[in-house]
Amino acid sequence: MARVITVGAAQLGPIARSDSRARVVERLIAHLREAKRMGCDLVVFPELALTTFFPRWYMTDQAEIDSFFEREMPGPETQPLFDEARLLRLGFSLGYAELTEQDGRPARFNTSILVDRDGRIIGKYRKVHLPGHREHEPWRRFQHLEKRYFDVSDTGFRVWRAFDGILGMCICNDRRWPETYRVMGLQGAEMILLGYNTPVHNPPAPDHDNLSLFHNQLVMQAGAYQNGCWVVGVAKAGDEENVPMIGGTQIIAPSGMTVAATRGDGDELAVAACDLDACASYKTTTFNFAVHRMPQHYGLITERKGAEPPP
Ligand code: CDV
């Protein structure tokens, strides 16, 4: 029997700073209903999907910062999302800011969860690659203070047996790093779910701005192909609080080909029936890690004693 997961990549348009959680959850539920009509099994929401992308502001009042975090999942405002998904028998993954306690101290993570069709959280990932900076940098048109507001992951990259396959998660900046896909690829990942918030403008490197959509596609397609897995990349897009964000939501096959994509920058669902058995064609040939991967040789040149640096 073919293992096909029909996935809905649930792109969100902008979320205003003043938008309530209830209002955002209504939009997520609208996505679930549309996904059900389209025959989906699993819906993927973006990074920090419940609020505006708050790391763009420098804040010093901890209570204000914490107002963007969830203390429980589901909580009173997110319970309706879980209820609706269970009613529709849909799984989902959701990105949010998580406030928890570790060793008697608050800990804050940029988190993504995987929820099964029964509304149970079966996987949790906390972001490894936190981009941006820690201190206020007023020269920027907007801030990117993930290093200030979040702790670095204590989960690492993991995979879960779910939806008849092997699924992994990562978040936004993680998608630019080959290690992200490879660590999950080495665990047999057949589908990687990821959400992102990516401004078009990159303050430290504005000359990259016109390549932002290209780089988004480049890294996700490479990650899929080089690990023989599906990649589902989902944007929070559009002009959010005067910061234009890329769209480019897409579902990529193990061949590296994009098979479904959004067209605009608003709330929009891209759907594809993803055959997990298609992974084997890559995992057992070109990217058969057991046969062709040569990690024992990768350090040879740098480890050679007295080696001259390359000209
Ligand atoms: N939310 C992110 O991780 N965004 C980064 C920005 C800083 C470019 C990204 O890699 O898309």
Does residue 180 have its Cβ closer than 6 Å to ligand 1? no
The residue count of the chain comes to: 311
Q: Give the residue, out of 128, 149, 196, 215, with the most ligand 1 atoms within 8 A of its beta carbon, to mutate for a pocket test.
A: 196
For residues 151 and 26, is the Cβ–Cβ distance under 8 A?
no
Domains of the chain in sequence order = 4-297 (3.60.110.10)
Q: Measuring from atom 11 of ligand 1, which residue has the nearest CA?
A: 198
- With cut-offs at 50, 70 and 90, classify the pLDDT of residue 299: confident
Give the three-state DSSP class for 235: strand
- Given a cut of 80, is residue 308 above it in pLDDT? no
pLDDT tens digits along 234-247: 999 999 999 999 99
How many of the other CB atoms lie within 10 Å of CB of 178? 13
Does residue 176 have its Cβ closer than 6 Å to ligand 1? yes
Q: Give the residue, out of 51, 127, 134, 144, with the most ligand 1 atoms within 8 A of its beta carbon, to mutate for a pocket test.
A: 144
For residues 246 and 235, is the Cβ–Cβ distance under 8 A?
yes
For residues 43 and 272, is the Cβ–Cβ distance under 8 A?
no
Report CA(131)–ligand 1 centroid distance (Å): 6
Mean pLDDT rounded to a whole number for the chain: 96
- Given a cut of 70, is residue 304 above it in pLDDT? no
Burial per residue of 124-133, b for 16 or more beta-carbon CB atoms within 10 angstroms, e otherwise = bbbbbbbebb
pLDDT, position 302: 54
Give CA separation, 187 vs 112, 116, 273, in Å.
Answer: 19, 20, 23
Q: State which amino acid sits at residue 186.
A: L
Q: State which amino acid sits at residue 73.
A: M
**How far apart are alpha carbons 202 and 130 in whole angstroms?**
15
Report CA(172)–ligand 1 centroid distance (Å): 6
pLDDT, position 81: 98
Mean pLDDT score, 124-146: 98
Report CA(278)–ligand 1 centroid distance (Å): 30
Give catalytic residues, as residue numbers: 47, 127, 172
* pTM confidence score: 0.96
pLDDT tens digits along 31-88: 999 999 999 999 999 999 999 999 999 999 999 999 999 999 999 999 999 999 999 9
Atom of ligand 1 nearest to the CA of 144: 7
Does residue 197 have its Cβ closer than 6 Å to ligand 1? yes
Give CA separation, 19 vs 16, 26, 43, 84, 149, in Å.
Answer: 5, 11, 22, 21, 20
pLDDT, position 307: 57
Q: Are strands 268-275 and 243-245 parallel, antiparallel or unpaired?
A: unpaired
Q: In the 8-state DSSP scheme, what is residue 308?
A: P
Report CA(269)–ligand 1 centroid distance (Å): 22
- Given a cut of 90, is residue 301 above it in pLDDT? no
Report DSSP letters for 19-32, one per residue: --HHHHHHHHHHHH
Report CA(208)–ligand 1 centroid distance (Å): 13
Give the N- to C-terminal CA distance of the chain in Å, as an integer: 55
Mean pLDDT score, 142-150: 98
pLDDT, position 246: 98
**How far apart are alpha carbons 46 and 39 in whole angstroms?**
20
| Residue 246 CB contacts under 8 Å (≥ 6 apart), including other chains | 198, 199, 200, 212, 213, 216, 235, 237
For residues 41 and 7, is the Cβ–Cβ distance under 8 A?
yes
pLDDT tens digits along 161-198: 999 999 999 999 999 999 999 999 999 999 999 999 99
The pair of three-digit structure tokens given for residue 250, joined into one six-digit string = 């897409």
Q: Which residue has the higher pLDDT, 69 or 308?
A: 69
Closest CA to 194 of 302, 114, 278: 114
Q: Measuring from atom 3 of ligand 1, which residue has the nearest CA?
A: 173
Mean pLDDT score, 224-231: 99
